[in-house]
Amino acid sequence: MRKTFGLLCAAALLLPIGVITAQPAAAVSVITCTKAAGTFKFTPPLPASGGVKSTLSSVGTVSGCTGGGGASGKTSFKSNPPTTTSNCATLAKPTKTGTKGTFIVHWANGKTSTVSKIFTIIQNPQTLVDATTTGKITSGAFVGKLIKGAVTFKLTAPACPTKGGTYTQKKGVKFTVG
């Protein structure tokens, strides 16, 4: 479940990866996007108690982008197959290793960027709202560049069981490729 929560955040983030934090002055971004939003789901849904091996997936968009030739893009994320069971209670206790999976951006200019080993860490597990995602692009446009983002997510139902929810880019950060 901890992995699932991380996946949730990764998906949310991943979808339209809202960038985590400002990069060092020496780092130059190829693309910077000001907006990210989307939806995520758990398959099967997470139960209130007990446990299931649930996969996290998400779809979304990034927009307000500058640089790199793409002003926007559509995103998707799918977590790696789960090795442990999860439930709503485990969402509040993410693992330190985060969630891993594949993230894809289909840019408006027709190019695609794929991160086959995206990594997400929950920044604020007490409130279950913020996730930071990072990974190197492994194929397509911008191979070798680092993708970073941060999102705030919201479960569709305020309590469990839950099927998923929505995410938006974390306030004050941007989605970046650089």
Q: Which domain holds residue 152?
A: 2-177
Burial of 63 (0-12, 13-18, 19+ CB in 10 A): middle
Dist. CA 166–CA 66, nearest whole Å: 25
pLDDT of residue 67: 85
- Confidence band (pLDDT; 50, 70, 90) for 70? low
- DSSP-derived secondary structure for 56-67: EEEEEEEES-BS
Q: Is the dihedral of CA 154, 20, 78, 48 positive or negative?
A: negative
- Percent of the chain surpassing pLDDT 70: 71
Instruction: For residue 138, count other CB atoms closer than 10 A to its CB.
Output: 14
| Helix (H) or strand (E) segment spanning residue 6 | helix 2-14
Reference 72, options 175, 147, 151, 165; nearest CA is 175
Span 139-164, average pLDDT: 85
Residue type, 41: K
Q: Provide the number of structural domains found in the chain.
A: 1
Beta-carbon contacts of residue 67 (< 8 Å; ≥ 6 apart): 29, 30, 31, 32
Dist. CA 111–CA 140, nearest whole Å: 7
Strands 112-122 and 130-136: antiparallel
pLDDT tens track for 12-69: 333 333 332 333 434 566 899 999 999 999 999 988 888 899 998 999 999 999 987 7
Span 131-147, average pLDDT: 91
